[in-house]
Structure 1
């Protein structure tokens, strides 16, 4: 009996020990998995580039035999722009020494100092293979994030891949491209100056950026008159890849825009297109956008001047389209847009171009223009059959650096792309405003200004017809008559539809048939005006119902 009890307790003890050992084993496995550098095919922390077949775990020293390079316009440090494509090359410098295995990794350099970085903690862009499916030599790595490695063990002399930089990145971001090459199972190399490329974000603004960022306030006690000139440059010579097959149908829409306040947004990268921009980009129709601009007109906010320039079609696309507009301390920036035809929903333009500087109005500036995508229609090329984008996307650059061979921007960077137009803005006149008028809260000063400056104010308001395209004649200080009545509306085409009205004013007290009223209000006293400047002309858009 005693022997049976002893055997029973031994059996229970044995089961208990087995049970505890199993629990300890499970806990060990959990801890091991939690701290493992590779989890389900993806690393935590820095990528271990040791070749899987390596029989020697310590890399050899590369003496310039193998080199990793990247094509950019800037050298040491290599600078990258957001959402651009760069060609990365790994090659041997000695044809007698090919390599059989390789790995290229894009990573955050800070991974050297921490070991718990998970996937997508820092956007380092992405790598894309360039090989075709047949005979391809590179593939996406299953061992490490943002990595490409060899598919076979054949001899290799040169490997090219693409690195697509992050769409958005913080100001001082650095990204490291690191390569490993292996000659065989015993000799392999990684790191060092020849197999590492450090990339830094290029903090210079894009080529088509205005010279100054938008400012919520403008402290200038003056108004200014500007001319904006759109000069087309889209041509088969400058943009030969997939240039439209029927160039006679090419063209730019009317240039449409506004001078406006800080809070008004006609269009902006990262925001969805308005109904007006959608119609403009898809059909080259400016009517809805003009309506949006006119409806937003306000003395203290919104828009001030509707900007409208002529449309240009082949073969006159290189001829300039220009317009005049006014700005003041409330409406101190401007935006414009011009549709490209044919295209799915592409347009050219500038958004929230700041004209107010700290001590004066901007005198002159010119920027190149590159295509924008309104985000409403899908299509990869000028003549693509467009389909509606579902869901509607935001306004962004046309996909420069595209991997689609049907795209006219296939593997093109912004700096490698010829401008599709240039935009010039020229200051023509500055109209000082009395200092006291800049402070509306001082009622006495405002009242005195109203009594002393009525005539000047009336003259500037006469020139500031919101829909008027102002003439370029110099005003000087000649005697100026009142404006005549607006002429009848003259349609652009046919007998109805959109057209133009004209009114005139004369200098030096002259008469001008029936366009000028019988009574002339003289402003200024100078009487030696040039004959060429004797008549001032203003135009505005009108419409006759069909």
Structure 2
């Protein structure tokens, strides 16, 4: 008996261990985190879905509670979702603990073995956001990654890309990683008070190599930079900026390295452009690209970009860099480290990713070692260390003007500020050619009077101030400074009638050296003639500013038909990149819809109830039959259940023998 008991105990122990091993094995299986059963692959990008943590912390404190939200960008919504927080070093292991805020929207996955901390939808009702409470894991856990999947409808779903991931490190880990600074100061002061034009050489020095950026480096001499393209421009024009949307020209540079369309866009901005920058690209990506440019008081900003090649849509460059200084002069030299940014038009994560258009396109954003947070990404670093610069952009001033020889120039305007000529004061922009005096054209020695040259007549009465004692007759469009130097009038110094306004003139801080002065002959208009003044054309109702047409993104693809059968609607949308300004062409429709039909809906056959059986066909014996009938009320349609028989028979008989 004891032997039998021992044998049974051994068998039971074996089965118990087998079940336990099966349970442990099941717990080691990865959680798929799929929000449903799909017959099509996920869509690229994030469709505007975002993971956000309340307060936007840059790190988490172990054991602290945080509110985490999965949200959509209106008018987009989602019906189903999954949400998890996983270890960066092991994406099969959950990190921290979730608590449900609203059980009408979220619940824990019933698969508690494989997905113990996976949150899923409670119902398939349309929703725009869902919030959870997350308790951070204990100290020593390291970095974690929030990941989500969202179903817009039916077979349209997104998972683990861009805004559907969020990387967060523990406080001690994050503190050891220096933050990566933005090389483009979008909020810098863009005003300028410098009086004269400056010339620069801009040079882009490529640093990108297998030694500096070894991960995913495109070998085989495939690494290259596209042409350097850009411009010096006014504050009213932007080629690209973080948070803005890529124009078609920027998109073609970012995706294909082709600058032609962007150059055409820049040239169309005639009033806003001083110099177009373009320099031949580098293949392979070592060496320098250089170009020359000019800037002035109104065209004091510089923007450039060059594609990182090969790449999905990645570039380096600067946006709206101000070369003017606060003391009304120009920078002598400026160096800027260039870091990668994403144009928001392609969803690839490696240098040689296949084309994967982002629909709808996303804002331009910087690439960091933690975003995108896919470990396969070309710049991803689990420790979040800053990306080394891929290139350096150097601005070097090259001009030597008379101002540098004679001392600092002070530009002052008593009313209206530097933009007085563009407002209702009646001023005009400086005419072409109103530049500082050339070499050899020095002001006269104080206390001397030069006789007028042959052909030089006094200007029309009322149009110029009488010359001071000891000053030579002024040149056309020029006025004397208090120290005797002939200087160009500042914008706003001439009114519509050609008279001088009450404006402080440029002054020399350093005394003018004595010596003989030679002035070239200048033909003046005859007495009584008006000096011709050419005003740039103004656009009606724009205050003299150039109209800016609305710029819109391309139309998205049409959505699937709203009904799987019968008549429905399809929709598409586009986004406004730049609103119309100063009377420019207005924006078109942002949304469109059209009717669609995917074929008739299936319908089962509908039949009436069976009628009564007819009397037996015989009055004796057992060889008779009975019949009953029914009608078809609605025929089957499509793949619906077909109709059954309309007539039934059965054998019948009577107890009477024939």
The alignment's TM-score, normalised by the length of structure 2, stands at 0.41
- Which structure is higher in helix share? 1
Comparing both structures, which one devotes a greater share of its residues to strand?
A: 1
Relative contact order (alpha carbons < 8 A, sep ≥ 6): 1 or 2 greater? 1
